[in-house]
Amino acid sequence: MTLSASEVNALKRAPEVNGVPAVFLERWSPRSFTEGEVSAADLRRVFEAARWTASSVNGQPWRYIVAAKGTPVHAKIVSSLAGFNKEWAPKAPVLILGAALARTAKGEHNPYGMYDLGAASSMLTLAAAELGLATHQMAGFDRDVARRELAIPEEYELGAVIALGYQGEPAALSSEELIKRELAPRERKPLTEWVFSAWGVPANLA
């Protein structure tokens, strides 16, 4: 029997860590969304959170195209989706495409633009989770199609598509493979594998 949305949330919740806010432990990336409309006020709140992200020389290079389901822009983002994302993401009530200015004010390549976009998107997803909204970030889309359909200038690099809305029931997904992915345990590498005191030497964080 397929687990319910609340049961999956309990399964996905990261182990309690003293001092780590609950939103960090509870946020995950579902694929099942309800058709519930996301209010303009809540969308403004998540973008306000992204607005205050730190960025290199305060350049704030991120740009987002936000589209509600049923609009032409939502359909254009859907047309760029690839793989399994084509099956579930079109049902999300909001799709967001992130991009970053790839050049500095002097016209030089900005090596930190995508870093800053990723940071802003993380703030966005955490703010959404605080509001009871689910997000799922996707690399699986055709960037050439998205750029053409949305008339995005060449000086911007495309990041990810973010599905945003209210979490749906796993059983509502269209295939057994998607349900299997929805129910898979949430796993992360231990800190010893990627926090070092010298390269390859785990930092002592005890």
Task: For 9-25, write each residue's pLDDT tens digit.
Answer: 999 999 999 999 999 99
**Sign of the four-CA dihedral 67, 72, 74, 76:** negative
Task: For 196-206, write each residue's pLDDT tens digit.
Answer: 999 999 999 98
Residue 73 has pLDDT above 90, yes or no: yes
- Measured CA to CA in angstroms, residue 76 lies from 12, 20, 82, 149 at distances of 32, 38, 13, 6
Cβ proximity of 8 and 170 under 8 Å: yes
Percent of the chain with pLDDT over 90: 94
What pLDDT, on a 0 to 100 scale, did the predictor assign at position 163?
98
What pLDDT, on a 0 to 100 scale, did the predictor assign at position 1?
66
Task: For 39-54, write each residue's pLDDT tens digit.
Answer: 999 999 999 999 999 9
State the average pLDDT over residues 128-144: 98
What pLDDT, on a 0 to 100 scale, did the predictor assign at position 103?
83
**Rounded Cα–Cα distance for residues 54 and 171 (Å):** 39
Angle at Cα 90 formed by Cα 87 and Cα 95, nearest 5°?
Answer: 135
Residue 6 has pLDDT above 70, yes or no: yes
Residue 161 has pLDDT above 70, yes or no: yes
DSSP 132: T
- Measured CA to CA in angstroms, residue 155 lies from 101, 104, 105, 186 at distances of 6, 10, 12, 36
State the average pLDDT over residues 162-172: 98
Beta bridge partners of 202: 196
Task: For 176-195, write each residue's pLDDT tens digit.
Answer: 999 999 999 999 999 999 99
Residue 82 has pLDDT above 70, yes or no: yes
State the average pLDDT over residues 98-104: 91
pTM of the model: 0.96
What pLDDT, on a 0 to 100 scale, did the predictor assign at position 26?
96
Residue 148 has pLDDT above 90, yes or no: yes
State the average pLDDT over residues 100-118: 89
Ordered structural domains, the chain, with CATH = 5-202 (3.40.109.10)
